[in-house]
Amino acid sequence: MNKTLFALLLTTLTIPAHADNRALLIGVGDYQMKTANLPGIGKDLAMMKQNALALGFQAGQIKTLQDSEATLANVEHALQTWLVEGVATDDKVLLYYSGHGTYVSDHNGDEADKVDEALTMHDMKPGKHGLDNLLLDDRLETLLAKIPSQQVLVLIDACHSASATRTLQRVKDAVPKTFVYDGMPTPLTSRANGVKPKPIPANLITLSAAKDDELSTATDKGSTFTLGLNEIIQTVGDVQQLTPAYLLEQVAAYIERNTLASSRFHPQLTTSGNLSQQPFLVTAPSQAAAKTLTEQFAKLVNVAQPLETQLDQDRYTLGQSLHVTVSVPNAGYLNIVVVDANDAVTVLFPNQYKPDNRVESGNFTLPNDKMAFDLQAQDPLGRTDFFAFLSSEPLNLYRDGGTSDQLFKALNPAQVAEFQKRGAGVVSKQHLFKASHQTVTVCNTSNQCQ
Instruction: Give backbone dihedrals phi and psi of 151, rounded to 5 degrees, phi first.
Output: -145, 95
pLDDT on residue 23: 95
Q: What CA–CA distances, in Å, run from 327 to 281, 302, 337, 338, 382?
A: 44, 18, 16, 18, 26
Alpha-carbon dihedral 416, 418, 421, 422, rounded to 10 degrees: -100
Average pLDDT, stretch 112-117? 61
Helix (H) / strand (E) element for 406: namely helix 404-410
Mean per-residue pLDDT, 305-322: 88
Q: What is the pLDDT of residue 161?
A: 37
Domain 2-13+288-443: which CATH class?
Answer: mainly beta
Q: Is the pLDDT of residue 375 over 90?
A: no
User: Which has more pLDDT, 286 or 30?
Assistant: 30
pLDDT band (50, 70, 90) for residue 197: low
Cα separation of the two ends of the chain: 30
Most confident of 11-15, 141-145, 392-396, 417-421: 141-145
* CA distance linking residue 433 with residue 415, whole number of Å: 11
98: pLDDT strictly greater than 80: yes
Measure the CA–CA gap between 145 and 98, rounded to whole angstroms. Answer: 21
Identify which of 395, 329, 323 has the alpha carbon closest to the alpha carbon of residue 356. 395
| Residue bearing the bigger pLDDT, 343 or 80 | 80
Task: Please state, in angstroms and rounded to a whole number, the distance separating the CA atoms of residues 321 and 436.
Answer: 21
Three-state secondary-structure class, residue 239: helix
DSSP 138: H
> Using CA atoms, how far apart are residues 312 and 223, in angstroms rounded to an integer?
36
259, 356, 378 from 323: Cα distances, Å: 52, 19, 14
Do residues 205 and 152 make contact, with C-beta atoms less than 8 angstroms apart?
Answer: yes
Question: What pLDDT is stored for residue 156 in this prediction?
Answer: 94
Domain chopping of the chain, boundaries:
2-13+288-443, 22-281
| pLDDT band at 310; cut points 50, 70, 90 | very high
Query: Are 346 and 338 within 8 A, CB to CB?
Result: yes
pTM of the predicted model, to two decimals?
Answer: 0.59
Structural contact between residues 18 and 89, judged by C-beta atoms closer than 8 angstroms: no
The per-residue pLDDT for range 2-41, each reduced to its tens digit, is 444 343 343 333 333 345 899 999 999 999 999 999 999 9
Say what the pLDDT of residue 283 is: 64
Task: Work out whether strand 315-317 and strand 324-328 pair parallel, antiparallel, or are unpaired.
Answer: unpaired
Architecture of domain 22-281: 3-Layer(aba) Sandwich (3.40)
CA atoms within 13 Å, Cβ hemisphere of 379: 0
Peptide bond into 285 cis (omega under 30): no
- Give the pLDDT confidence score for residue 291 in this predicted structure: 56
Task: Examine the pLDDT at 434 and tell me if it is beyond 60.
Answer: yes
Q: How confident is the model at residue 114 (pLDDT cuts 50, 70, 90)?
A: low
Nearest to 50 by CA among 272, 170, 230: 230
**CB-based burial label for 287 (10 Å; 0-12, 13-18, 19+):** exposed
Please say if the pLDDT value at position 426 is more than 60.
no
